[in-house]
Chains A and B, each alone.
Chain A
Amino acid sequence: QKEVEQNSGPLSVPEGAIASLNCTYSDRGSQSFFWYRQYSGKSPELIMFIYSNGDKEDGRFTAQLNKASQYVSLLIRDSQPSDSATYLCAVDRETSYDKVIFGPGTSLSVIP
């Protein structure tokens, strides 16, 4: 089992819809969870950070964490074409603060 798994996509949603991206992880002791957005040919950019169970909202983005089920999700409301990118889920390993594990990413395409 891979440590961090995501649906590779591509996920296509119409403009204005809600995009839902999911991520599961295997290390039950993981403490911190991140979502990065990566445009083609560019570097990853941090968009959300969550460490407590429940929801965290920032503008059109909501991160949801369920440690019991070992999943974290990202919702993008009112999706825009500019949201078209690959979204990377990342998880801190419990045993080493600095060894963040990235998922393979989900490609999102927002159709105008």
Chain B
Amino acid sequence: EAQVTQNPRYLITVTGKKLTVTCSQNMNHEYMSWYRQDPGLGLRQIYYSMNVEVTDKGDVPEGYKVSRKEKRNFPLILESPSPNQTSLYFCASRGHYGYTFGSGTRLTVV
């Protein structure tokens, strides 16, 4: 089954404690993205990757890092999380006909 696997689904952490959200796709897609979704603000792109070792900033990259060492994996790293990064995060993989999204990670930073 074609899918994007994202972990963890839920995460509560404290300010400043580094965390990584993993994302993996099995569709051999070159393009992958990270989005955050907040009430009233919709989906906003954090980072995207056009291929292995090629990444670029989206609309809200501050406070986030990504890496793309393999085509299938695209982890999102928060090196020093802050409460304003509390949000619902989605990883997405882009095929010809649009994105397939992961199931989401609900992150709470206290």
Name A residues whose Cβ lies closer than 8 Å to a Cβ of B: 32, 34, 36, 42-46, 49, 88, 90, 97-100, 102-105
Q: Are A49 and B42 in contact (CB under 8 A)?
A: no
Smallest CB-CB separation from B100: which chain A residue? A46
- Counting residue pairs across A and B whose Cβ atoms lie within 8 Å, the total is 48
Q: Are B90 and A44 in contact (CB under 8 A)?
A: yes
Contact residues of A: prevailing secondary structure:
strand
Contacts of A98 in B (CB 8 A): 31, 33, 48, 50, 94
Q: Are A49 and B45 in contact (CB under 8 A)?
A: no
Which of B33, B42, B98, B102 gathers most chain A CB within 10 Å?
B98
Q: Are A46 and B98 in contact (CB under 8 A)?
A: yes
Shortest CB distance A89–B (Å): 10
Smallest CB-CB separation from B33: which chain A residue? A98
Q: Are A90 and B98 in contact (CB under 8 A)?
A: yes
Name B residues whose Cβ lies closer than 8 Å to a Cβ of A: 31, 33, 35, 40-43, 45, 48, 50, 58, 90, 94, 97-104
Contacts of A97 in B (CB 8 A): 31
Contacts of B58 in A (CB 8 A): 99
Given the known interface contacts A43-B101, A45-B101, A98-B48, the answer about A104 and B42 at a Cβ–Cβ threshold of 8 Å is yes
Given the known interface contacts A43-B102, A44-B90, A105-B42, the answer about A99 and B48 at a Cβ–Cβ threshold of 8 Å is yes
Of the A-B pairs whose beta carbons lie under 8 Å apart in the complex, a sample of 26, sorted by A's number, is A32-B98, A34-B99, A36-B98, A42-B104, A43-B102, A43-B104, A44-B90, A44-B99, A46-B98, A46-B99, A49-B97, A49-B98, A88-B43, A90-B98, A98-B48, A98-B94, A99-B45, A99-B58, A100-B94, A100-B99, A102-B35, A102-B42, A102-B43, A103-B42, A104-B41, A104-B42
